[in-house]
Amino acid sequence: MSKSKVDYTKIDPLKKLAQKQAKTTKNSQVKIVEESYGESAFVWEEENCYRAFVIEGLGTKNLIADQIRGEKSYYDLLAQDTVAMIVNDLITVGAKPQVVNAYFAAGSSDWFTDYKRAKDLTEGFANACKLAGCVWGGGESPALSGIINDQSADLAGAAIGIIQPKVRLTLGNKIQPNDAILLIESSGIHANGISFVRSLGGEFCKKFAGKLLTPTHIYVDLVNNLFEKGIDIHYMVSITGHGFKKLMRANKNFTYLISQIPPVPQIFSLIQQESNASDEQMYGIFNMGAGFAVILPPNQIEKAQKIATENNLKSWNSGSVQKGEKKVVIQPKGITFEGSTLDLR
């Protein structure tokens, strides 16, 4: 069992270098929305709409499924996780997913010969695309011997979406002081913090595999319904890597005060008990029961919560945006994440 954990302080500097170089590239037919650099999806403008593009991956969650493989492969659930990671990022800029392409890379050609796993993976991917209201266009399935372990795979994908009408574009410039922060429930761990969980050992992962493999919620319908019913969305966040730090992803300097946190799902309590992690570590790694966040005018919070309920999702009026230094303050836990702990631009 690998003891490695994801260290974003080592990963994020490359992201910033990539953004710097990306900004040197131009195409006369692509009208770049510069503000989208550093957001969860890249955006460009067309005549009567914007387009958005994103690439995302599952991570290492499939290694837990591989540990307990029996008659059930769990790859249908992992496929939903993979699509969710892609489209949940895409919708944060106001885009409707249109086309998703898959990337299924394995360490050996033999990996692809497991018919049950292949059937579950492809059916699950198609079903997840249907949940997201998009087309599965194609993909790539390389065998990367020597790069990926022979018994393992890297599941990922990319998507393009449309922002239409143009007023749906959501990049953080709309955020205002006193805006409300609406947190939307997660299904559990989703697909982030898995390397941390795997560091706790194989027996822990096997014992709680059922909870760990619960698939990620897809929030596409919720966001579409919010827009369709007139909610003036100022910003959205898919709470994935970096945990609650992600709430301050927008480029503006604001303090995000969290006065109410969702009930913590049992799986996180089990992880914290086993790892002896502090509350600060837990909220800086995991979603802790909140998989998505919507920032909006405070006078629309009740209407937005009603829409969430109609989508069978619990929600919480969890706090507000205030003038001040960029940071996230989780008041019930006495936790403060300074802006320097989320350095993505």
Q: What is the CB neighbour count within 10 angstroms for residue 334?
A: 9
Provide the pLDDT for residue 4.
45
Q: Which domains does the chain have, with CATH numbers?
A: 25-168 (3.30.1330.10), 180-341 (3.90.650.10)
Provide the pLDDT for residue 343.
85
Provide the pLDDT for residue 233.
99
Task: Report pLDDT digits (tens) over 202-228.
Answer: 999 999 999 999 999 999 999 999 999
Long-range contacts of 245-248 (CB under 8 A, 24+ apart): 245/284, 245/328, 245/337, 245/341, 245/342, 246/293, 246/342, 247/181, 247/293, 247/328, 248/326, 248/327, 248/328, 248/337, 248/339, 248/342
Provide the pLDDT for residue 9.
87
**Is 39 within 8 Å of 249 (Cβ atoms)?**
yes
Q: Give the confidence band of 3 by pLDDT, cuts at 50, 70, 90.
A: very low
Per the document, the length of the chain is: 345
Please tell me whether the overall predicted TM-score, pTM, comes out greater than 0.75 for this model: yes
Percent of the chain with pLDDT over 70: 99
Provide the pLDDT for residue 1.
37
Place of tokens 């997201």: 132
Task: Report pLDDT digits (tens) over 272-289.
Answer: 999 999 999 999 999 999
Place of tokens 């065998």: 143
Q: Looking at residues 228-236, what average pLDDT do you find?
A: 99
Provide the pLDDT for residue 267.
98
Task: Report pLDDT digits (tens) over 311-336.
Answer: 999 999 999 999 999 999 999 999 99
State the average pLDDT for the chain: 96
